[in-house]
Structure 1
Amino acid sequence: MTAQEFETAVNKGTIPPLSYLYGEETFLIERAVHQLLERAIDPSLKDFNLNIFYGNETKGVEILDAAQTLPMFAERRAVLVKRADALKADVLESLLPYVRNPAATTCLVFTGAKIDQRKKFFQELKKQGCLVEYKRLYDNKLSGFIQSEAVVQGKTIDPAAAGLLSLLIGNNLQELASQIEKLAVYCGTRSRITVEDVRVIASSSKAFTAFELARFLGMRDLQNALKSLGALFRNGEDAPMMIGALTRHFRQLWRIRELLDRRVSQADIGRELNIHTFFLGEVVQQAKNFSRNDLERLFEELYRCDVASKTGGGQPATLMHGLVVGICTSSMVP
């Protein structure tokens, strides 16, 4: 079952007696669980009819006892097992009979980052259509997510504003949802979120400063890049986060550079990479500032700095300063 199918069914009132939600997108998993539990049990009776366990702390018998207990003063009870990927093999084995014949009066839901489909437990869940995967959203899906989150907040958002927000935040859905909520409050009675609104609200965030650093590096503007770097360090940001933001930005520039080398038109580049026309001219110009050889050396240096920052191979400020200067002056070591 896909995530969309699962959520559609739940929103229509179909409460599964058994489900296992897993994947990289923890924000969507947590929200789906919240929606499921809201519909599965009466909030006023939650103390009587909701049990929460953690896979790294619980035994199979505890989960089974809770799942087989009749609800109190209600039609259904719920049992939530978080970090279910930490359940031991013997616990999964003990749960197999229940998985094959779950109680109709219980909503048992597991959540975890990953599964092992070689195990009988997961094979049985798959057979019954109880496995629901939440994959990390690709960049070209972020605009749709942003649009839908704006609707949840009672607003619409300009496509260019959604594009800027996705560039600023990336695929951190928790942060995207938080920023959209702030934007909705900032807009007040206005129904539409604009690019200027995004600039105002996001300008104080670390994500905006990291975006600005990547932008200045793409422009090879050393003075402003160093100012942005200093601001990030003053705000307590760590080197791996900065390197991650830069890697994402220059990966896009590399893809643009490849298309430019193939003589693809700017308009076609925008369509292929899902870049809004509002930003297209600038990022294409940034890509023109680097050859593919430049970008290859740049990514080697990004990797070196990332490893060094995580293993004590140098002071973060020194590493990042050298990286910024190297990108802007083409002095990176081949």
Structure 2
Amino acid sequence: MKSDELDNAIERGEIAPLYYFYGDEPYLMERAVKRLTERVVSADFRDFNLDVFYGNESKGDDIATAAQTLPMFADRRMVLVKRAGDLSAAALETLAACVADPAPQTCLLFVGDKIDKRKKFFLDLAKKGELVEFKRPYENQLGVFIRDEARSLGKRIDGAAVEMLVYLVGNNLGELATQLEKVATFVGTRETLTVEDVREVVSDTKVESVFDLANALGERDLGKSLRSLATILRDGEAPLMLLAMIARHFRQLWRVRELMAAKVQQQEVARRTGINPYFLKGVMDQARNFTVADLRRVFEGLYAADLALKGVGGGGKPSLVMERLVMDVCGMGRRKR
């Protein structure tokens, strides 16, 4: 079962006796746990009908007993097992009986990171209940999430504002939701969130500095690039994460450079690259600063920096590795216009 199918089933009141939530997107998983809990157990009776266990510190017998206990003052109870991936083999063996013959009055929910669908425990659970995967969305899928979140806040959001938010925050859904709520609060009763609103509210976070650094490198402005880099490293941004953001920016520049060389019209460049027209002119201006040979050398430098940051070949101090990369990018060749 996919996460959106789960949302629809919960909305319809179709609750399975068994669930196992897993995947690499904790925000969606936590939200689904909350929605399911609210649907299964009334807030007034959770003291009686909600049991929470942790796989790294719970015994299978305790979980099984709770799952087989009748609800009080309600039709159903819920048993939630967090960190289910840490359940011992003995605990899983004990719980196998609950999975093979689930108690109809209980919703037993396991929450973990990974599963092995070849194991009998998960094969049986899939027959009697639901395995629900929560995947971190690709960047081109984030727009739907952001618009849905904005709608839940009673707002609409411009396409350029969506793009800006993704650029500044990345694909961390929890952080996206938090920043979007801040923007919605900032605009007050106004219905539409704009790119200016996003920059105004999100600009004081460290991701804004990453945005500035990427643009400064694209402009081949050494002074600005080094100042942005110093700010980012001072604020504790992981160098490898920073490197990934720079690589993303230069992949965009390379793609745009190729399309420009092929005399593709600006509107078509926007369509093929997925870059919002609000940002495209700036990206095209930056792309003109680099030949294809320049861009190839940029990626050779990014690869070398990645190895150095991972300690391959002696590595080096991260700040020096990043400074050397910045100077190489800004200094190569002659500015092309």
Question: Which deviates the most, 56-65 or 174-183?
Answer: 56-65
Amino acid at match of 2:327: V
Q: Which residue of 1 aligns with 2:316?
A: 314
Amino acid at match of 2:200: V
Measure, in 2, the Cα distance between the counterparts of 1:159 and 1:133: 28
What is the Cα deviation at residue 147 of structure 1? 0.9
1:249 paired with 2:258, answer: no
Residues 113-141 of structure 1: CA distance to partner in whole angstroms, max 9, x if unpaired? Answer: 21111111222233346111111111111
Instruction: Look up the SS of the partner of 1:133 in the other structure.
Output: strand
Structure 1 counterpart SS, 2:177 = helix
Shift of 1:288: 4.1
How far 1:6 sits from its partner (Å)? 0.6
Residue 3, structure 1, aligned to residue 3, structure 2: yes
Give the structure 1 partner of residue 222 of structure 2: 222
Alignment partner, residue 276 of structure 1:
276
Match of residue 25 from structure 1: 25
Shift of 1:264: 4.8
Looking at structure 2, the residues matched to 308 and 41 of structure 1 have their Cα atoms a distance apart, in angstroms, of: 52
Q: Could you tell me how far 1:149 is from its partner in structure 2? A: 0.8
CA shift digits 1:159-195 (9 cap, x unpaired): 1111111111111111110110100110011111111
Alignment of 1:255-266 (within 5 A): 255-257=255-257, 259-260=259-260, 264-266=264-266
In structure 1, runs of 5+ residues without a counterpart are none
Following the alignment from structure 1 to structure 2, what is the Cα–Cα distance between the partners of residues 131 and 50?
21
Give the direction of change, closer, same or farther, for the CA distance of 1:270–1:94 in structure 2 (3 Å limit). farther
SS at match of 2:132: strand
Q: 2:332 aligns with which of 312, 315, 330?
A: 330
Q: Distance between the aligned counterparts of 2:52 and 2:67, measured in 1?
A: 11
Q: Secondary structure at 1:171's aligned position in 2?
A: coil
Count of aligned residue pairs for this structure pair = 331
> CA separation of 1:70/1:257 partners in 2, compared to 1, >3 Å: closer, same or farther?
farther
Query: Structure 1 residues 266, 59: CA separation in 2 closer, same or farther (over 3 Å shift)?
Result: farther
The answer to whether the 8 Å contact 2:167/2:211 transfers is yes
Are 1:53 and 2:53 counterparts? yes
On the 8 A contact 2:183/2:201 being kept in 1, the answer is yes
CA deviation string 1:172-223 (max 9, x = no partner): 1111101101001100111111111111001101111111111211222222
- Give yes or no for contact 1:140–1:273 (8 Å, CA) kept in 2: no
Residue 233 of structure 1, CA deviation: 2.7
**Pair 39,268 (structure 1): closer, same or farther in 2 beyond 3 Å:** same
| Structure 2 residue 126 is matched with structure 1 residue 126 | yes
Q: TM-score, normalised by structure 1?
A: 0.90
Inter-partner Cα distance in structure 2 for 1:22 and 1:292: 42
% identical aligned pairs: 51
SS of alignment partner, residue 21 of structure 1: strand
* Cα distance in 1 between the residues matched to 2:179 and 2:307: 31
Can you give the 5+ residue segments of structure 2 that lack an aligned partner in the other structure? none
Whether the 8 Å CA contact 2:16–2:129 is kept in 1: the answer is no
Partner residue, 1:87 = 87
Cα separation, 1, equivalents of 2:256 and 2:160: 19
Q: Which residue of 2 aligns with 1:67?
A: 67
CA distance, structure 2, for counterparts of residue 291 and residue 100 of structure 1? 63
What is the rounded CA distance, in whole Å, between the counterparts of 1:280 and 1:91 in structure 2? 56
Q: 1:94 to 1:292 in 2, by over 3 A?
A: farther
Q: Aligned pair in 2 of structure 1 residues 129, 67: CA closer, same or farther (>3 Å)?
A: closer
Deviation at 1:106, TM superposition (A): 1.1
CA contact (8 A) 2:102 2:128 kept: no
Which residue identity lines up with residue 210 of structure 1 in the other structure?
V
Say what the alpha-carbon RMSD is for the aligned residues. Answer: 2.2
In structure 1, how many angstroms separate the alpha carbons of the residues matched to 2:127 and 2:20?
12
Alignment map for 1:26-41 (pairs within 5 Å): 26-41=26-41
Partners of 1:165 and 1:105 lie apart in 2 by 44
Between stretches 203-212 and 127-136, larger displacement belongs to 127-136
